[in-house]
Amino acid sequence: MRSSLHPRFQPQAPKRKRHTLLVCLLAVCCSGAFYYVYQANTLLTPILPPLAAQNHLQRWLQSDFGDLERREPLYHPQTVAKIYHRTGYKMLWLKNYELAESGKLLMQHLQETSADQRLDYQYHLTYMQHRLYNLPSLPRDATALDILLTDAFVSYADDVFSEKLFADNIPPLRNGLRPVAYSPDGFEAHEFQVDHNNIVNLLEDNASPWKLTQVLNNMSPEHDEYLRLRQALVFYQQLSQNMEWRPLAKGPRLKQGQRHPQVAQLRTLLSLYGDYPVPKDSLIDWFDRKPEPPEDPQLLDADLAASLIHFQQRHGSKTTGTLDKATRKHLNVSPSFRVKQIALNMKRWRQLPRDLGERYIWVNLMDYHLQLINDDDVELEMKVIVGKSYRQTPPLQEAMNTLVLNPVWNVPRKITLYDILPKARKDPNYLTERKIHVLESWANPVRIPIEEIDWANATPRNFPYRLQQEAGDMNALGSVKFVLPNDKSIYLHDTSQPELFDRHKRALSSGCIRLEKPMDLARALLKNKRGWSDKRIEEELAQGETRYVKLPQTVPTYLTYWTSWVDDKGIIQFRDDVYKRDHIPQQAGSELEKLIL
């Protein structure tokens, strides 16, 4: 029934209900807003005002300097005090109570530099990491930590600018290209060895966060290969902290189709390393890869054999797909050892120029491989043979500007005395058959008739002559030699023993680099030289006369020693340390033995 009452005379209860509901809604909204404001405030990093930081830094480094030295393990207290005095007592590495971008980058540099554990790095790294993790919101503690970070920077700068971080003793290129260890502001490296004032000046001129970041970037290599190694270092650091890693115990040789209880652990290891299943992209992305469990965990199936081949390829082993003794050895190298190996190889990039050149020759001695790089692309590549372990090919950086067609071989003194002389004493025809002539001396190249020499009594102590092999088919250098100006008699050349390139391990020479495709390299280097067509090169070779040919442009040549790198596909590569140049601390080996036994 329709009500006859006027709306204004309706009962009042509904109106009071609406007011109550409105008040409740407002209360809920206000309390919600208060809650979110409260939460935001509690999540905010406490602020350390610049003036308060300045006062505490000044107090530490002036009136409380004695307390600071007793509290913090500073290596360079006087230098650090000068730095803060010259920078106006500003925080350099912390922002409020957290690492600024410059501080994060500094910690990264310190971590990757000291990861090889090769030296006693004076970086306070473990201590600073603990302090950062437990840093209270107190200005006095924060400023003390900033001072400690500056002290670590001084130690790091000392190491960088004194070239202490060079893994191998390689001089810079003769044409003036400087290695990465040069200082950011034009100071020569030796200046930093004797005078910390240059480090003080460096920080005074670059005290802003952005400039500090630039300084640090200038103190490490920026090659793409170095940055890829940095990723690989993180990869193996995380793997070394993974409690799943266990070495394989001794066991039988296993191939595809066989079953064995160790196969399950083999699959786990290859999965941890990123080889199982065979990656389609990069090993760096291994955390995102979750292989499905196989139907038969103890069967070495086709997928596992393919993963073994992938693992063998990136360790420089024969690719058999079989779990053999050599593969077990590589599988059982601990991730912590790989961390040290990668960190050490990162240092080798410090010895190279920032700009390798537009066109250059790159030889990786431990991979037995040469590449001719042109504008970042591989123009030519080939196998090489390098020096034996007791006649090592040294890492070199030289500027190649000459090649020799139909070269003669001036036999190095050591090879003359210890390789050829014993054979010549046993067989009088040895030298004649190989067209090797005896010359009076290096200063006087007059031929001495072989029959006039008293071979029976010739010894390394009384043999004054030098030997020279004439050009031709018998010549040890083959048809072409590529000259590298150095005092070690090291060069690249053809060989009279091409069958040696079929060997997997090729540390077989007396020090020089033997090339699989020497004429391809000669044609590539002479292709822009007027009048030197491929036909002209063949004609010169056919004449048999020794001919020195200047290259149209100097070609930087790098003989490098890499036992770890990341290739263009993002695959982490390892090679055996044939020359024992890594000198990595071996405590990982003893740990490995304990785990296996």
- The secondary structure of 389-408 as a DSSP string is TTSPPPPEEEEEEEEEES--
Residues 56 and 162 in one domain: yes
For residue 36, is it within any domain? no
Report yes or no on 461 lying in a domain.
no
The predicted pLDDT at position 12 comes to 40
Domain-embedded: residue 348: no
Q: Decide: helix, strand or coil at residue 541.
A: helix
The pair of three-digit structure tokens given for residue 118, joined into one six-digit string: 């090769």
493 flagged as catalytic: yes
Per-residue confidence (pLDDT) for residue 540, from 0 to 100:
96
User: What string of DSSP letters covers 412-480?
Assistant: -HHHIIIIIHHHHHH-TTHHHHTTEEEES-SS---EE-GGGS-GGG--TTT---EEEEPSSTT-TTTTE
User: Which phi and psi (to 5°) does residue 550 adopt?
Assistant: -80, 135
Same domain for 545 and 420: no
> Of 6, 190, 493, 583, which one is the catalytic site residue?
493
Q: Are residues 135 and 69 part of one domain?
A: yes
Q: Does 15 reside within a domain?
A: no
Same domain, 404 and 418: no
Interior angle at CA 401, CA 396 and CA 407, nearest 5: 90
Are residue 334 and residue 362 in the same domain, yes or no? no
Instruction: Give the pLDDT score at 295.
Output: 85
Q: How many Å apart are CA 220 and CA 229, to the nearest integer?
A: 13
- Cβ atoms of 521 and 362 within 8 Å: the answer is no
Using CA atoms, how far apart are residues 209 and 107, in angstroms rounded to an integer? 14
Q: Do residues 190 and 204 share a domain? A: yes
Distance CA 144, CA 151 (A): 11
Give Cβ neighbours of residue 236 (< 8 Å, ≥ 6 apart): 335, 338, 339, 342
Tally of residues, the chain: 597
Determine phi and psi for 352, rounding to 5 degrees: -105, 155
Measured over the CA atoms of residue 550, residue 551, residue 553 and residue 558, the dihedral's sign is: negative
Are 243 and 381 in a shared domain?
no
Q: Look at residue 22 and tell me if it is in a domain.
A: no
Residue 241 sits in the same domain as residue 104: no
Residues 205 and 271 in one domain: no
Q: What is the pLDDT of residue 487?
A: 87
Rounded to the nearest 10 degrees, the angle between the axes of helix 101-114 and helix 335-348 is: 110
Ramachandran angles phi, psi of 573, nearest 5°: -110, 140
Last residue within a domain, chosen from 388, 420, 455: 455
CB 511 within 8 Å of CB 488: yes
The span from the CA of 597 to the CA of 592, in Å, is 9
* Bridge partners for 573 per DSSP: 565
For CA atoms 467, 468, 472, 475, give the dihedral sign. Answer: positive
Give the pLDDT score at 420. 95
**29 in active site:** no
pLDDT reported for residue 13? 43
Least Cα distance to 106 among 71, 154, 60, 34 occurs for: 154
Query: Residue 522 to residues 207, 398, 465, 555: CA-CA distances in angstroms?
Result: 51, 17, 33, 12
Q: What's the CATH number where 372 sits?
A: 2.40.440.10
Of 185, 220, 255, which marks where a domain is finished?
220
Q: Which of 76, 196, 437, 512 is catalytic?
A: 512
Q: Does a structural domain hold residue 199? A: yes
Count CA atoms closer than 13 A to 382's CA, side-chain side: 22
Note the pLDDT of residue 285.
Answer: 56
State how many domains the chain has: 4
Q: Which domain holds residue 525?
A: 357-408+477-562
Classify residue 105 as exposed, middle or buried by CB count within 10 Å of its CB (0-12, 13-18, 19+): buried
Same domain, residue pair 306 and 433: no
- In whole angstroms, what is the distance from residue 547 CA to residue 406 CA? 7
> What whole-number distance in Å separates Cα of residue 597 and Cα of residue 253?
19
Residue 1 in domain:
no
- Which ranges of 282-396 would DSSP assign to H, the alpha helix? 302-313, 325-331, 335-348
Q: How far apart are CA 400 and CA 493, in angstroms?
A: 13
Are the C-beta atoms of 181 and 161 separated by less than 8 Å? yes
Is the domain of 394 the same as that of 328?
no
Is-contact 493 514, C-beta < 8 A? yes
pLDDT along the chain (597 residues), means of 10: 32 45 49 44 70 95 93 94 97 94 97 92 94 90 96 94 79 54 45 72 94 95 95 95 92 96 96 91 56 86 97 96 96 96 96 94 98 97 97 94 96 93 92 94 90 91 94 93 92 94 96 97 96 95 96 96 95 96 68 38
For residues 296 and 371, membership in a common domain is answered with: no
Asked if 329 and 525 touch (Cβ cutoff 8 Å), the reply is no
Whether 437 is covered by a domain: the verdict is yes
- Tell me, what CATH number does 322's domain have? 1.10.101.10
Give the end of a domain, one of 341, 366, 382: 341
